[in-house]
């Protein structure tokens, strides 16, 4: 089991890696991870992924009470919705990554499955990504929209805002988020070029082989 000290360092190291590569900028985005005792470590409100301090992460106990650190992100209802509806969730990442946001605004993006089947890895790591409507930042209705999915999706894309991904641990959540952004980038690069996509049979083969959650 990962110790609290190690998890604090992992959160900050991975967040800085995403910031340094331009996946989220300024004070945008938020990240959380579950502790062994059921509590949560969460990035504070107004913080930058580039300068997170392990000692100042918001610390919630298993009952959802803030017991240490700075004031948490205003997007806590969004994070809580994933932890409450998906028991396997060990971490949640939310970014304002450019290509994913761009994809969320295009009129022909499929709201039930926003990523076209361009590579096996987006299918493996994300399953189907649901497009949710626009909400005011911090609106608790975002969390309610995620709860409305009843735990059937590991990733969503908030229109005109950005993606949110849940994973079994902090590394899985970050890697899946990066796959989402890279696939959105591929989708935009190949837009109008009639790319050769994976067939339905190929997608089903990936789903079966790697036991991917793939809601019909």
Task: Just list the catalytic residues.
Answer: 75, 121
Q: What residues form DSSP beta bridges with 34? A: 40
Residue 114, phi-psi category: left (phi > 0), alpha (psi -120 to 50), beta (remainder): alpha
Q: What is the 8-class DSSP label of residue 55?
A: G
Phi first, then psi: give them for residue 101, nearest 5 degrees. Answer: -65, -45
Strand intervals (E) in the chain: 30-34, 40-42, 58-60, 66-68, 91-94, 130-132, 155-158, 162-167
**What's the rounded Cα separation, in Å, for the pair 45 and 63?**
20
Instruction: Identify whether the C-beta of residue 64 lies closer than 8 Å to the C-beta of residue 146.
Output: no
């Amino acid at each position: 089991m990962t110790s609290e000290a190690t998890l604090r360092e992992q959160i900050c190291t991975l967040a800085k890696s995403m910031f340094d590569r331009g996946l989220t900028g300024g004070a945008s985005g938020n990240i959380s991870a579950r502790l062994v005792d059921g509590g949560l470590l969460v990035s504070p409100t107004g913080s930058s992924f580039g300068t997170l301090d392990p000692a100042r992460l918001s610390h919630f106990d298993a009952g959802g009470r803030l017991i240490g650190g700075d004031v948490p992100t205003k997007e806590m209802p969004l994070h809580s919705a994933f932890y409450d509806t998906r028991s396997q969730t060990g971490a949640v990442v939310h970014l304002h990554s450019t290509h994913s946001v761009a994809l969320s605004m295009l009129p022909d993006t499929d709201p039930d499955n926003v990523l076209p089947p361009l590579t096996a890895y987006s299918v493996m790591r994300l399953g189907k990504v649901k497009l949710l409507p626009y909400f005011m930042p911090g609106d608790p209705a975002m969390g309610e929209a995620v709860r409305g999915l009843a735990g059937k999706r590991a990733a969503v894309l908030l229109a005109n805002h950005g993606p949110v991904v849940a994973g079994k641990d902090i590394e899985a959540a970050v890697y899946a988020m990066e796959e989402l952004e890279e696939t959105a980038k591929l989708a935009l690069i190949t837009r109008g070029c009639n790319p050769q996509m994976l067939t339905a049979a190929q997608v089903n083969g990936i789903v079966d082989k790697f036991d991917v959650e793939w809601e019909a």
